[in-house]
Amino acid sequence: MHTRTIAELSALLHEGAVSAEELAQALLERIQRLDGDLNAFITVTAEEALAQAREADRRLRSGEATPLTGIPIAHKDIFCTRGVRTSCGSRMLDPFVAPYDATVVERLAAAGAVSLGKTNMDEFAMGSSNETSYYGPVRNPWDPERVPGGSSGGSAAAVAARLVPGATGTDTGGSIRQPAALTGITGLKPTYGRVSRWGMVAFASSLDQAGPMARTAEDCALLLQAMAGFDPRDSTCVDRPVPDYRAALAGEGDLKGLRIGVPREWLEEGLDGKVRACVERALQVYRDLGAEVREVRLPNAHLAVPVYYVLAPAEASSNLARYDGVRYGHRCQDPRDLTDLYKRSRAEGFGPEVKRRIMIGTYVLSAGYYDAYYLKAQQVRRLIAQDFRRAFQEVDLLAGPTSPTTAFRLGERLDDPVTMYLSDIYTIAVNLAGLPGLSHPAGFVDGLPVGLQLVGDYFEEARLLEAAHRFQQATDWHRRVPPGCA
């Protein structure tokens, strides 16, 4: 059962060929057997999962089921889950048990999905390798000595290793797409505001967006269908009808009439030569499917990384100010006074990368530096968004590499933050503009997966999913299984 996609499992469940309880039990046993080597999960909720599975079987028998009823999934440990630890991969929140479900968790549960647990992640979603977690690094199923990408590395590794057929992730600067690329799965970051952020612990509020991670575009469509939609509890959520994403994928077909732009800036210096060759072969598949592929320009693309690492830390320093040891989370022992409580609780609770970003963010927001750094970064952010708007007047989608390299070795970039930050050089601008982006498997280099990134105009998730689905109908990269995970 573990080799089946969500769509395939849904058909089997509705036919009665397998029960939701049998499926959940089989995957829980697989997690117990394999996750010790991967560290993809922080918390496994076996009892709760089996109870949900039994309820799913009742709904299947009574005809009340949706396409996701009985489907096992996992949630990134950044989503609040009632009665279950929500740690954000940090010592600061290690003891925190949420009293409510995030909207994403709530909606997937309402659709009948069965949550098997919470996945590992970079601390407070700050990282590109899943090495900053308080619970230790996640290992890439394709090579346990390499990273799975971050910050949604636990979800990516769990899906790639066939521990679950789908999982939730969050994407602030590439944290769904980059790990999807490095582990050989499909990951979608929706348009900012398409999916509610209520109950999703904030890193950078103007950039964070929840999205699905699965093996195929079709599976991502099924998950997004349940996740998307207006939520009055989230002031940034857009009140806009949700299309039928799976219907957009129906049948066989080509991509005639689709115009794909390839930004010149994404194929220049910094991109590994073998990865570039792999991307170009994937673009040829799109040509063979009838799409027109042409070069476009994003002249301010080179400014995305510096802009992001002003704005994201600024928002993080504000959002993380609430963790003071008073109300919840880590609290130091025997504080001498209130100042000592604040200082030691935060010093003990946060890891080095989170502290680095808090310090940067506080600096750029401080008097005397706000105009020079934060305000200027917001102005350049607007220029980056305008570049995309001009590009989408010429083409329907943009395409290029998701990551400049394949998965790098554990520890290789931990002492070089700038090199680590450059791992997201092709994904960050999409978040700054609030656009939807998708990464799908596009080949292999030296036995490691390569992802192709597709970017669409606002609320064009259906078009992204359709293009990726047609590509996956013509290729088999998404069907490849890591060694030892078959």
Half-sphere exposure of 27 (CA within 13 A, CB side): 34
Report angle CA 68, 69, 71 to the nearest 5 degrees: 65
Q: Tell me if residue 151 is catalytic.
A: yes
Q: Tell me if residue 205 is catalytic.
A: no
Strand partners, 444: 449
Strand partners, 85: 97
Kindly compute the dihedral angle of the four CA atoms of residues 202, 207, 208, 210, in this order, to the nearest 10 degrees.
160
**Structural contact between residues 226 and 113, judged by C-beta atoms closer than 8 angstroms:** yes
In whole angstroms, give the CA distance from residue 38 to residue 29.
Answer: 15
Exactly one of 151, 152, 196, 423 is catalytic; name it: 151
Exactly one of 10, 87, 175, 345 is catalytic; name it: 175
Which residues are CB-neighbours of 10 under 8 A, at least 6 positions away?
Answer: 67, 68, 69, 70, 71, 222
Exactly one of 76, 90, 133, 196 is catalytic; name it: 76
Instruction: Tell me which residues are annotated as active site.
Output: 76, 151, 175
